[in-house]
Chain A
Amino acid sequence: MAVERAIRDGYGEALLELGKRNRNVLVLDADLAESTRSSLFARAFPERFFNTGVAEQNMVNMAVGLALCGKIVFASSFAIFATGRCWEQLRNSLAATRANVKIVASHGGITVGADGFSHQCVEDISLIRTIPFFTVIIPCDWLEAKKAVLAAAELKGPVYIRTSRPKSPQLTEEGTPFIIGKSCPLREGKEVTIVACGLMVAKALDAARALAGEGIEASVVNMHTIKPLDVAAVVHAARTTGAIVTAEEHTVIGGLGSAVAEVVAVQCPVPIEMVGIRDKFGQSGEPDELLRKYGLTAEEIYKAAKRALSRKRG
């Protein structure tokens, strides 16, 4: 049985490493430190941790002020508050000044579960990728999240990383390379490519196995960086397989599917099918129940691949 850990755990672990390595690293949180896992840093380096209270807009701009004075600042909250409530702060004060602030937001997607729609952010990719100078990363497991946080600390400028609440299987290994902006091919096939991010990467692999059972060989790409998008990998996928399925725990409006479609439509049009949330709010429920309810399953990816293939064959 594979290791299962929450993606947000990777953030806490990376912060501990960063705290030891670099005295310039500061962490801010808005009264959700246990949930986001910034609490690990808070306990180890209390003099470099600042709980700014339930005031996310002020937190973002404080982070900017600290960063403009030379600090590397991580700021955390739930994805809906960090992106939705603070969007204009992220745009006008953070990205506009290229400040060295990393927004690492937990509780992305509907797998937040029982807390319901108010806490389930399915719009963050869309919101943040429209802002110039922002890097947007959605890791697929806790280990990739850890590497992403460490890599973000090395990159000067605004970065957004979404983490998730539930435990999920570890898909990558210690030695799996992680380079911001460079996607990871997980499986090679000739007929269709599934491009996925976050928790949907595991589902994409399941779908590819089901397709293989019918003799259909699918490529699977872990697109952990949504911005800057690995355009070469997308173009390669379109050219070599001629059909693409995208899978994301996010609205299909403006997310990973849209980012991929923007490239494909202009550079090498091929059929695309998108698996994601279809312009809806979530609701309370268990993460797995919600994934089924909103069509975020391996089976839906499998069906989408079949549709894409039949469109490709005309």
Chain B
Amino acid sequence: MSASSKLLRRPVNDSVIKELVERAKAVRCNVVKMIARAGSGHPGGSLSIVDLLTALYFARLNHRPKDPHWTDRDRVILSKGHAAPTLYAILGECGYFPKTELLKLRKLGSMLQGHPDMMRTPGVEMSTGSLGQGISVAVGMALAGKLDKKSYRVYTFLGDGELQEGQVWEAAMAGAHYALDNLCAVIDFNGLQIDGRVQEIMNPEPIPRKWEAFGWAVKEVNGHDFKEIVAAYDWAAGIKGKPAAVVAHTIKGKGVSFMESKAHWHGVAPSAEEARRALMELGEG
């Protein structure tokens, strides 16, 4: 058995959970520091997706940070590209680049752009930022995997507001049409977008039933419960003949009390003082 498939099978026992909790905490702290230092960015949607991405990268993803172009790697596309700080913090943690890069987020010449740019950042699989496009690219990559009889999996992460983009549903149709059971879409269902509550602005509900109707296998999870999240990735990997959608119930701004469930914190950087308070709450003061 290869090292990677051992990792895939690693049971989620208490020590794994403990490790994930520690990792997620470090990621959240870095996200806060990075956005505060940059003076702009998207803390709300970055924090809501930390546990989903942390669980994937540190418990299930088959990848080689020292060989980012390894052809058999699993692919991750952050369709909701504005959560880039979380992806960067995790890629840095994995060793794709030195963590000293993190505090250069959004600065001129930095490898860490405001939204993911695969031409600049090792480990970034696809350039995103324009909502609704990443999932279609994921469909293409999953189809390529099928054509080449590869066993890699493709994961893509979407926001609930992003589901308002028509292209998402074009991609959903295509994923089911080509029976892409190597594809897993994770929806960060935090209930908020920029201008307010998703349900009030343009209601995407019922989200699970929509994906089902489009021909996907669907599972709802608590997006902050590592046991449930990892179980969902394993469930998705076992689905045959159709793609899998994990609808993750999350809290926007999760982990920083004054940011939680507030649309205001979608795209505002914390001041130095706010960042200090946030880091204290997160256990790093």
Contacts and interface: CB of A to CB of B under 8 A. Distances in A.
B273 interface: no
A58 B214 CA distance: 15
A295 interface: no
A268 interface: no
Contact of A97 (B127, B130, B174): B127
A177 interface: no
Given A52-B174, A88-B130, A92-B129, A66 B117 contact: no
A89 B133 contact: yes
Interface stretch (A68-76, A184-192, A238-246): A68-76
A96 B117 contact: yes
A57 B118 contact: no
A58 B171 contact: yes
B119 A64 contact: no
A50 interface: yes
A55 B173 contact: yes
B102 to A, nearest CB: 23
Contacts, number: 98
A72 B204 CA distance: 36
Contacts of B139: 58, 61-62, 65
Interface stretch (B30-38, B85-93, B143-151, B192-200): B143-151
Interface in B115-134: 117-119, 125-127, 129-130, 132-133
B170 A55 contact: yes
A61 B127 contact: no
B130 A61 contact: no
A98 interface: yes
Contact size range, A: 20 to 34
Interface in A49-87: 50, 52-53, 55, 57-58, 60-71
A4 B126 CA distance: 44
B170 A69 contact: no
B118 A61 contact: no
A67 B126 CA distance: 12
Contact of A55 (B126, B129, B130, B174): B174
Residue among A69, A89, A98 with max Cβ neighbours from chain B (10 Å): A69
Contacts of B126: 64-65, 68, 93, 97
B173 A53 contact: yes
A93 B174 contact: no
Residue among B129, B139, B166 with max Cβ neighbours from chain A (10 Å): B139
A62 B154 CA distance: 13
Given A58-B167, A97-B127, A64 B140 contact: yes
B132 to A, nearest CB: 8
Nearest to A96: B127
B137 A68 contact: yes
Contacts of A61: 133, 136-137, 139-140, 167, 171
Residue among B142, B170, B177 with max Cβ neighbours from chain A (10 Å): B170
Contact size range, B: 20 to 34
Given A55-B174, A57-B170, A97-B126, A62 B145 contact: no
B174 A66 contact: no
B130 A65 contact: no
B61 interface: no
Residue among B118, B133, B137, B166 with max Cβ neighbours from chain A (10 Å): B137
Nearest to B129: A92
B137 A92 contact: no
A280 to B, nearest CB: 30
A87 to B, nearest CB: 11
Contact of B170 (A58, A66, A96, A97): A58
A64 B132 CA distance: 14
B141 interface: yes
Contacts of A98: 119
B12 to A, nearest CB: 30
Contact of A92 (B133, B143, B144, B174): B133
A70 B147 CA distance: 11
B127 A92 contact: yes
Nearest to B140: A65
Nearest to A61: B136
B138 interface: yes
Given A58-B167, A97-B119, A92 B130 contact: yes
Contacts of A97: 118-119, 126-127
A64 B129 contact: no
Nearest to A70: B144
Given A57-B133, A57-B136, A64-B136, 18 more contacts: A26-B147, A58-B136, A58-B173, A61-B167, A64-B126, A65-B126, A65-B141, A65-B143, A68-B137, A68-B141, A69-B144, A69-B145, A70-B71, A71-B147, A89-B136, A92-B130, A93-B127, A97-B119
27 contacts: A26-B147, A53-B173, A57-B170, A58-B167, A58-B173, A60-B136, A61-B137, A62-B139, A62-B143, A62-B171, A63-B140, A65-B137, A65-B139, A66-B144, A67-B140, A68-B141, A69-B144, A70-B71, A70-B144, A70-B148, A88-B130, A89-B133, A89-B136, A93-B130, A93-B133, A97-B118, A98-B119
Interface of A: 26, 48, 50, 52-53, 55, 57-58, 60-71, 88-89, 92-93, 96-98
Interface of B: 71, 117-119, 125-127, 129-130, 132-133, 136-145, 147-148, 166-167, 170-171, 173-174, 177-178
9 nearest CB pairs, A to B: A65-B140, A61-B136, A69-B144, A58-B170, A55-B170, A62-B140, A65-B137, A65-B141, A66-B140
